[in-house]
């Protein structure tokens, strides 16, 4: 999975810490989307620090073959924000993969029903 970071109002030391922590955490997400090709998995993480509130805003956008999963988190601690973003993206990815599997199974059942209906037809029935 390709991960791109964008930082705003974050110190260089904090950038390195956030990148290292997020790379480690988002490895768990990779397990749930392993069925997608490497080219079709892009995670874009925007991290902004708000001085007035002393909060980190973490926006996570995961693109899976044209489908977009999105999450925004506001936290005082960047670790907590990354953890919540990761958990939410995993939940969304599971739901998306299950939805795709259900649609494929539904399409296969429909094809089997059409084929079975066609077997009963012959020239005598027409």
Residue 118 pLDDT exceeds 80: no
Task: Report the C-alpha gap between 93 and 43 in whole angstroms.
Answer: 12
- Percent share of the chain, pLDDT over 70: 82
Q: Domain extents for the chain?
A: 2-119
Angle between helix 12-25 and 78-119 (nearest 10): 30
Q: How confident is the model at residue 100 (pLDDT cuts 50, 70, 90)?
A: confident
- The domain 2-119 is placed in CATH, from the list 3.30.160.100, 1.10.4080.10, 3.20.20.70, 3.40.50.300, at 3.30.160.100
pLDDT in tens, 23-68: 999 988 888 788 778 878 899 999 999 998 899 999 999 998 788 9
Q: How confident is the model at residue 121 (pLDDT cuts 50, 70, 90)?
A: very low
pLDDT at 82: 94
């Amino acid at each position: 999975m390709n991960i791109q970071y964008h930082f705003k109002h974050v110190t260089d030391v904090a950038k390195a810490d956030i990148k290292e922590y997020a790379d480690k955490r988002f490895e768990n997400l990779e397990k749930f989307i392993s069925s997608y090709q490497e080219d079709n998995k892009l995670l874009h993480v925007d991290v902004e620090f708000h001085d007035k509130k002393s909060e980190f805003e973490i926006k996570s956008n995961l693109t899976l073959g044209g489908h977009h999963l999105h999450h925004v988190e506001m936290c005082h601690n960047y670790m907590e924000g990354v953890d919540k973003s990761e958990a939410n993206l995993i939940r969304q990815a599971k739901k998306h993969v299950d939805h795709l599997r259900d649609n494929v199974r539904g399409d296969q059942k429909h094809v089997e029903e059409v084929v079975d209906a066609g077997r009963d037809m012959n020239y005598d029935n027409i």
